[in-house]
Structure 1
Amino acid sequence: LYPNPRLRPTGGRLRKNSLNKTRLWAYGISGDLPIIALTVTDVKELDFVQEILTAHTYLRTKGLKADLVILNYESGSYFQPLQESLRRMAQAHAMLTGLDQPGGVFLRTISHMPDDDVLLILASARVLLVAARGTLAQQLGNQADNTNWPPRLKSQKRFEEYPRAEFPTPNTEFFNGFGGFSKDGKEYIIQLPAKVKTPSPWINVLSNEHFGALVTESAMGTVWFGNSQLNRLLPWSNDPISDPPSDAIYIRDEDTGAFWNATPSPVLTDTSYRVR
């Protein structure tokens, strides 16, 4: 699943933001999970809020975690009917999603927040929804796709499969069944037969003073700028069992239209790989 880029804030709003995600911590939001921001201005919009809370709870039960940040635009006063209604609705969903915890619901009132902090939350959102714009179906339907996509590839030749040749076992030092060191000691060479993975990820760090990346024997791990914890450009799973890739490289035959991944992940095929 991927968020629709047309549901993100506008480019102008993104450019106005000058804060980084560490400022989110003041509101209990880590920034590690995708953020769904929902703006509410009137009690007449509570039906839409209920719709989003139900959708968020459903996604959570399916294992898809996201922080739902509800921004209450009600003016500050002694009586706050909208805030009280929102609090009761959020608490009703708390058993499955939680309140003020990762993957849960975060209810915040903008009258208690600096404008720059509100802008940061909106700019950080992977999905921005405005309750005043109608139902969820209407808002999704109004997102016209104006992207100038290239034309679909028309294959010129018929794809034919040929017998796959296995790599010969590399001539390495201390070969353990999966890999070993090259004779000059400058490389570690991993040999993966068809549909076989190493018992654990073999990880290398590529970095300089500005950028860095993790690369495993299966694919790309993550990429960051400046700080590997605070400024990740690609997600980091920290899962040594499944080791899901954060990025993928595909190769396509422009004559036949056939395509395949250049690394063992994300699709483990019946092809052998040599990783060095």
Structure 2
Amino acid sequence: AFGNLFIQTEFEHETLLASRRPRSEKQTRLWLMHTVATEGEKVGSLQYETDRARFIGRGRSLAKPQALDTNHPLSDTVGAVLDPMMSLRQRVKIAPGQTARVSFSIGYAENRESVIRIAEKYKDPLSINRAFELAWAHSKMELRQLNLTAAQANEGLSLGGHLLYLSPCRSDVAECIKNNRKGQSSLWPYAISGDLPIVFVRVKSVENMDLVRTLLKTHEYWRLKGLFADLVILNEDESGYYQVFQDNLRDLISMGHARDLINKSGGVYLLQKDHVQEDDINLLCAVARVIFNGEGGSCSIQVRKKKKFMTAKIELDKVDTQEKDEDPLLLVREFHDETLDRTMGQLQFANGYGGFSEDGQEYIIHLQEGMNTPLPWINVIANSKFGFQVSEVGAGYTWSINSREYKLTPWSNDPILDPPGEALYLRNEQSGESWSVTAGPKREKGLYTIRHGQGYSVFEHFSHGIKQSLRLFVPLDESVKIIELTLTNTTNHDFRLSAVYYAEWVMG
């Protein structure tokens, strides 16, 4: 946030320019440009925005920013803003059977004149087309060098997503995660650091060599693109004294890019099942981002099977909940009206968002559908050695001893998105639906009531036929955060629910 204060924006030659004012004479003033080239019939003038708060909007997200609302123009403002960004909008008209092409460019230079020259160049559609042609030629050379087809490269890029983000394909190793009792240090005897994502491959016969060959090529492609991972191959062959399959695997690895990366970080590890403890295999299954089996077919087939397994599991868990005596929407309206009638007329110093309770002990906020407070309205709850802060949407962080030096969960200096580092989810195990009791991170329709008191905060919501109340507090003399959830079933049928608490650890 402090660094953003030195960024200044301007609009010239239908290009957005941004530069960082140097904080000392030794620093160089760097420049960034953002421009657009349009091939087609333009409608109206080019619009621009440099204020992130105006583009996203309070309580919104990049998935649904207010700038994309119907008839919501960009502000066309530049200068020094607290939270800078760059956005251009060009409207086009496309007649039936016609094509329009809009190309956005971002460039960097070390002085203003150079960055303007770059912008002028890439406002020309011919320069854009030339850049794509050169990129395509370079990509084809890479694939030819690796002996990869375009389909195999796309498969490698798709698999890369499973390394970077938590994959639903890991659900089939839930039992391994549950039974695991070992940590990262148990990987070290096998020269695996555990610092990089792990791809675990289990093979047992020569028929599985094609899978290993494909993954070795994919591993090389990942490295070329700057994505580093440990490829761990477990040989489960039980042929005995003659280890022909092990020799074949070793030769295959040695003939490719991994010959100098065997048992090295970001490289390839070849293990034999007889030399690996059973609970270490369980550990590898628990920590691997994705697991492949030699008998399961190609990589893409195995990933598709895992996804189908997850979808089928949710469908099997569903039960018929259509026959209900109560109308859920009617229940929501009744609870909404009851809560508002009980508190709205009794608030002191009400401002449209909330106000103080009659006794002055609580600040009560009512977040009706589509409503958000102008900025995060937080409550700081702590004793002398432990505490946390929580906003009206449930976002915040927890610390021990010192709120700046010893964070347990992440604090985000982002008043626009107010992303949570902790969250409590509820999941209906019968229907597969999930939501959060607080207004973030998974907000539903209806009213959310927040009660900030001295030493505690309470969140109330009604949905799915369930009254939900969440109370957060810290005991006076204990280093612990208490999350107390109370659920009341207002229907005439049973619910099977799971409560899942998420905490993103920082630990420092």
Question: 1:129 aligns to what?
Answer: 292
Question: Does residue 249 of structure 2 align to residue 86 of structure 1?
Answer: yes
Question: Does residue 199 of structure 2 align to residue 36 of structure 1?
Answer: yes
Pairwise CA distance, 1:56 = 1.4
Question: 1:24 aligns to what?
Answer: 187
Q: Is contact 1:9-1:123 (8 Å) kept? A: no
Question: 1:74 aligns to what?
Answer: 237
Q: Which runs of 5+ in 1 are unaligned?
A: 150-202, 224-248, 256-276
Pairwise CA distance, 1:68 = 0.7
CA distance in structure 2 between the aligned counterparts of 1:67 and 1:93, rounded to whole angstroms: 14
Structure 1 residues 17 and 75 mapped into 2: Cα distance closer, same or farther (>3 Å)? same
Question: 1:61 aligns to what?
Answer: 224
Match for 1:205 among 402, 405, 415? 405
Q: 1:1-276 to 2 correspondence within 5 Å?
A: 1=161, 2-7=165-170, 9-75=172-238, 77-91=240-254, 92-94=256-258, 98-143=261-306, 144=308, 145-146=311-312, 204-207=404-407, 212-213=408-409, 215=411
Q: CA RMSD in A?
A: 3.4
CA distance in structure 1 between the aligned counterparts of 2:265 and 2:171, rounded to whole angstroms: 21
TM-score (norm 2): 0.31
After superposing the two structures, state which structure 1 stretch, 17-26 or 86-95, moved more.
86-95
Pairwise CA distance, 1:206 = 3.2
SS in 1 for 2:292: strand
The answer to which structure has the higher helix fraction is 2
SS in 2 for 1:133: coil
The one-letter code sitting in structure 2 at the alignment partner of 1:27 is Y
Pairwise CA distance, 1:10 = 2.1
CA distance in structure 2 between the aligned counterparts of 1:121 and 1:115, rounded to whole angstroms: 10
Of structures 1 and 2, the larger Rg is shown by: 2
The one-letter code sitting in structure 2 at the alignment partner of 1:93 is H
The one-letter code sitting in structure 2 at the alignment partner of 1:119 is N
Q: Is contact 1:3-1:127 (8 Å) kept? A: no
Which structure is richer in relative contact order (CA contacts within 8 A, separation 6 or more)? 1
Pairwise CA distance, 1:119 = 1.2
Question: 1:154 aligns to what?
Answer: none
SS in 2 for 1:10: helix
SS in 2 for 1:122: helix
Q: Is contact 2:176-2:283 (8 Å) kept? A: no
Pairwise CA distance, 1:112 = 0.9
Structure 1 residues 9 and 126 mapped into 2: Cα distance closer, same or farther (>3 Å)? farther
Q: Which runs of 5+ in 2 are unaligned?
A: 1-160, 316-402, 423-439, 447-508
Pairwise CA distance, 1:64 = 1.0
The answer to which structure has the higher strand fraction is 2
Q: Is contact 1:8-1:127 (8 Å) kept? A: no
SS in 2 for 1:100: coil
The one-letter code sitting in structure 1 at the alignment partner of 2:198 is I
SS in 1 for 2:269: strand
CA distance in structure 2 between the aligned counterparts of 1:112 and 1:3, rounded to whole angstroms: 30
Pairwise CA distance, 1:216 = 6.8
Q: Is contact 1:39-1:72 (8 Å) kept? A: yes
The one-letter code sitting in structure 2 at the alignment partner of 1:94 is A
Structure 1 residues 114 and 147 mapped into 2: Cα distance closer, same or farther (>3 Å)? closer
Q: Is contact 2:169-2:303 (8 Å) kept? A: no
Pairwise CA distance, 1:204 = 4.1
Pairwise CA distance, 1:52 = 1.1
Count residues in correspondence: 175
Structure 1 residues 71 and 9 mapped into 2: Cα distance closer, same or farther (>3 Å)? farther
Pairwise CA distance, 1:7 = 4.2
